Amino acid sequence: MAAGLQPCLVCWVLHASCHTVAVALDFVCPTIAPAKAEPADVTELHPGHVSVVMAMGDSITAAFASRGPLRDDMPLEFRKDSWSIGKGSGDAMTLPYFIRHFNSSLTGFASANTIPQTPAVGYLEYNHDFMDAALSSARVADLPRELDHLITQSKRIADFHHRWKVLTILIGANDLADSDACSVDPGVPEALAEKFAADLDATLELTEARFTRLYVNIVPLFSIASVRRVIQNQTGILPCTSEARWLDECNCIDRPQAGATNVTESQLRRLDMTTALLNKEIARLAAKWNHVRPDFAVVAPAMWANQPIPNFDFLSKLDCFHPSSVAHRTMAVTLWNAMLQGPRDPAPINATETPVCPNATSVFYSGPAILGEADATTIVI
């Protein structure tokens, strides 16, 4: 643990389901001002310096089907609870919820639930979305459009260019889901990773050109294949058994390859391998663009890179694919801790992890990522 950082004192209750899941009731860190009124550069950025949050990505960042009034079964985007950009609350912790604790002038967060917004239909809820530019079903090639949306929305924020900003990007799930990412032909995942990297690189070039005073998180992907492994154990729970799924979300986890009768573990491992290839590109590009200017950082916090989801509580009960409210809270806490504590090897996703409390001299980490040993060269087919 980084010097001066302490676990947040929280109360805990048990999640009423077949698994025991801890749910934090509040974030009670002392409100401490940064030691410096203004950072000299991005390496001195304290949470209290940040006054704008932004996000780009897909349905995960849009928080599609993450929760409902009674259970996780509503076909809406619960953007106000999104892990990286939602306004958040004591029982739905988000990155903006933590940052706002240290800077009450924070703006940009999504503030309400919305109907689904996709690349096909475009943006429908400008006021509620604010600087949440994520579009459900988006791929990495859609990021320039999302960046344009952020530029347009930034005109609503006074003195935008002089404010310190945090942008969080999570992308790639649909690039994997809509492709033959589990192909037995090694050239297919390699080509996918190459195109993914080219598109992401172009987006980062545009981002660096258009924004000042910016800290960027490019978050690596968890194991998409692990969704299939989890739902295979949910026999009798409709619609989430692999036999009863009513909606194909990902070619490699919902459909057996040609000539096969079932989705095999080898097929899932090949998907894991392609996921790891994309994650290596994310880390490489973060290192390429990190600190190209004193006021610009690009970090790839690798805390859940290639990691499996722990259990069924992390999945929406609508489609058994998208992250649930439990997952969003866990993702927010893990990202916040990684930003403050610095690099660590990818580790099992932990719903009981508590948010750390920064002190006056704490700063956001802006060094290289650590992907650890779980990369594409060590996944056994």
Q: How many whole angstroms from its chain centre is CA 323?
A: 10
Name the pTM for this structure.
Answer: 0.89
Other CB atoms within 10 Å distance of the CB of residue 381: 11
- The label of the residue with tokens 């990286």 reads 84
What's the rounded Cα separation, in Å, for the pair 158 and 352? 38
Domains and CATH numbers, the chain: 6-357 (3.40.50.1110)
What is the structure's pLDDT at 7?
A: 43
Task: Point out which residues pair with 218 in neighbouring strands.
Answer: 169
What's the rounded Cα separation, in Å, for the pair 74 and 66? 8
What is the structure's pLDDT at 68?
A: 57
If phi over 0 gives left and psi between -120 and 50 gives alpha, with beta otherwise, what is residue 327?
alpha
What is the structure's pLDDT at 370?
A: 65
What's the rounded Cα separation, in Å, for the pair 98 and 209? 28
What is the structure's pLDDT at 67?
A: 82
Closest by Cα among 325, 311, 331, 333 to 79: 325
pLDDT tens for the 381 residues of the chain, in order: 444 454 443 333 333 333 433 444 578 899 999 999 999 999 999 999 999 999 999 999 999 999 855 454 568 999 999 999 999 999 899 999 999 999 999 999 999 999 999 999 999 999 999 999 999 999 999 999 999 999 999 999 999 999 999 999 999 999 999 888 989 899 999 999 999 999 999 999 999 999 999 999 999 999 999 998 998 876 555 556 544 444 556 778 877 766 666 788 899 999 999 999 999 999 999 999 999 999 999 999 999 999 999 999 999 888 888 999 999 999 999 999 999 998 888 999 999 999 999 999 999 999 876 655 444 444 444
State the distance between the two ends of the chain, measured CA to CA, in whole angstroms.
36
